[in-house]
A = this chain, B = another copy of it.
Amino acid sequence: MLKRFSMSLEDTLLDKFDELIANEGYSNRSEAIRDLIRDIFVQKEWLHGDKETAGVAVIVYDHHRYELARKLVDVQHHDFECIVSSLHAHLDEHNCLEVIVLKGKAKKIQKLADSLISTRGVIHGRFIGTTTGKELL
């Protein structure tokens, strides 16, 4: 249930904020401030490591190097319950971008992502912790 409350902000800062969020596409202040607040709690989910949560590993690699493909198969074998799905996109003749959606305890999926990113042949890898959204509604 939505609860209404009021707050105050310096008028010059409020003007700048309104301009900024309009630029980013927000339809109103509430929505923009809600996103700032929710992001704090997502960060907290990831500090404690034992909450059930979701994350995404993004990996750019040269598809002529086969280690990653092999590791992905390995990982799917051993930790298949954490891998929700994955997407493979071609960036150019050499490079691919692979997205792997993970779900499970924060610590476990972070470790899994580390293991994918550290594979030989990966040019750039990054992991984003997000949320299953359960506690943020």
8 Å CB interface, A95-137 against B? 95, 97, 99, 101, 103, 114-120, 122-126, 128, 130-137
Contact flag A123-B136 (CB < 8 Å), given A11-B1, A85-B89, A128-B128 = yes
The tally of residues in A whose CB lies under 8 Å from a CB in B reads 79
| Shortest Cβ gap from A79 to chain B (Å) | 13
| Shortest Cβ gap from A3 to chain B (Å) | 4
Cα-based distance from A136 to B11 in the complex (angstroms)? 10
- Interface of A (DSSP majority class): mixed
Cα-based distance from A86 to B89 in the complex (angstroms)? 9
B1 touches A10 (CB 8 A): yes
Contact flag A115-B58 (CB < 8 Å), given A41-B16, A87-B101 = no
